[in-house]
């Protein structure tokens, strides 16, 4: 018995000596396979919507138009003459898309009233000429190619807090609030950390993008990028989320379920030939 337990003790010691090395070697192998794209970390990027089906479909008699889901990136450019309603935010000279001013104001007021802090905008709507000038001044590493910047939609804002701008924005209370709560006001962090291969941009915690409710909440809760969110819809299918029904439809075939025709219908072209149709049954 003594001999056996001695053997066991000896073996345990051996394992404990080699274990750290084994862990390091296995980690290095896993890292090499991950870098080579042979294995992938399971992603939690799942579409959280439930697919629903209806019997009959009709063209809506009337609907609201809201350009809150325009996709602008290296693949989908915004044309210089895209019809946009650009207005000045409140009493300022800050130009924004008219669709975002109310919700941006709500977020700004909340930060002022509840946190006692201020949120500032360093860049908002840019015309094609503005983007060309910035691109020529700052170069391709910093500025987007004219036509590929979503600032040209008026739906994106670069925000900052006093003493905390750019990459330092998340280091303050206002930055943390915006990162964690902007979805409640219809905004998303458009270029999240680690999504450069999808968005074409590295992490920009200061660049918030309006997509409206409930889309911002869904995108944020499921850790999607705007690209992935739009891709997650099967064109022509309807999905439910809370009191909302949502579909991605061809722009020239905006058929809605007949039984939802009495509710508020919002049509949001996504700049890829499709439109997201959102029906809110809670109004």
Query: Minimum distance from CB of 123 to Zn ion (Å)?
Result: 6
Cβ atoms of 244 and 279 within 8 Å: the answer is yes
Nearer to Zn ion, 23 or 86 (CB): 86
Q: Quick check: 130 binds Zn ion (CB under 5 A)?
A: no
Query: Minimum distance from CB of 157 to Zn ion (Å)?
Result: 7
Query: Minimum distance from CB of 236 to Zn ion (Å)?
Result: 33
Q: Quick check: 117 binds Zn ion (CB under 5 A)?
A: no
Nearer to Zn ion, 131 or 266 (CB): 131
On the 0-12 / 13-18 / 19+ scale of CB atoms within 10 A, 202 is exposed
Only segment of 52-60, 158-166, 209-217, 250-258 that touches Zn ion (CB under 5 A): 158-166
Cβ atoms of 248 and 233 within 8 Å: the answer is yes
- What are the residues whose beta carbons fall under 8 Å from the beta carbon of 248, sequence distance 6 or more? 230, 233, 234, 235, 236, 270, 274, 275, 276, 277
Tokens in use for 224? Answer: 């999607």
Task: Tell which positions 260-279 bind Zn ion, by CB under 5 A.
Answer: none
Query: Minimum distance from CB of 125 to Zn ion (Å)?
Result: 11
Q: How far apart are CA 248 and CA 275, in angstroms?
A: 6
Options 131, 174, 207, 271; binder of Zn ion; rule CB under 5 A: 207
Only segment of 81-89, 125-133, 204-212, 259-267 that touches Zn ion (CB under 5 A): 204-212
Q: How far apart are CA 155 and CA 69, in angstroms?
A: 9
**Local structure of 50: helix, strand or coil:** strand
The gap between the terminal CA atoms of the chain, to the nearest Å, is 79
Count of residues that bind Zn ion according to CB under 5 A = 2
Q: Quick check: 158 binds Zn ion (CB under 5 A)?
A: yes
Residues making contact with Zn ion (CB under 5 A): 158, 207
């Amino acid at each position: 018995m003594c001999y056996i337990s001695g053997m066991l003790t000896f073996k345990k010691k051996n394992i404990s000596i080699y274990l750290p090395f084994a862990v390091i070697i296995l980690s290095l192998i896993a890292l090499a396979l991950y870098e080579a794209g042979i294995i992938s970390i399971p992603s939690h990027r799942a579409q959280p919507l439930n697919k629903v089906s209806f019997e009959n479909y009709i063209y809506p008699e009337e609907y609201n138009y809201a350009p809150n889901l325009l996709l602008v990136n290296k693949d989908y450019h915004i044309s210089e003459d895209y019809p946009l309603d650009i207005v000045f935010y409140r009493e300022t000279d800050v130009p924004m898309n008219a669709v975002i001013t109310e919700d941006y104001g709500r977020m700004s007021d909340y930060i002022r009233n509840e946190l006692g802090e201020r949120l500032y905008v360093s860049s908002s709507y840019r015309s094609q000429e503005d983007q060309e000038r910035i691109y020529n001044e700052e170069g391709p590493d910093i500025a987007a190619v004219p036509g590929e910047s979503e600032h040209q939609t008026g739906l994106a804002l670069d925000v900052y807090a006093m003493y905390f701008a750019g990459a330092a924005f998340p280091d303050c209370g206002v930055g943390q609030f915006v990162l964690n709560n902007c979805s409640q006001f219809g905004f998303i962090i458009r270029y999240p950390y680690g999504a450069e291969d999808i968005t074409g941009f590295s992490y920009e915690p200061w660049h918030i993008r309006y997509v409206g409710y409930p889309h911002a909440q869904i995108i944020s809760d499921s850790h999607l990028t705007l690209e992935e969110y739009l891709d997650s819809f099967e064109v022509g299918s309807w999905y439910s989320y809370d009191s909302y029904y949502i579909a991605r439809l061809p722009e020239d075939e905006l058929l809605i379920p007949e039984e939802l025709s009495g509710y508020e219908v919002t049509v949001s072209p996504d700049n890829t030939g499709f439109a997201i149709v959102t029906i809110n049954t809670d109004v």
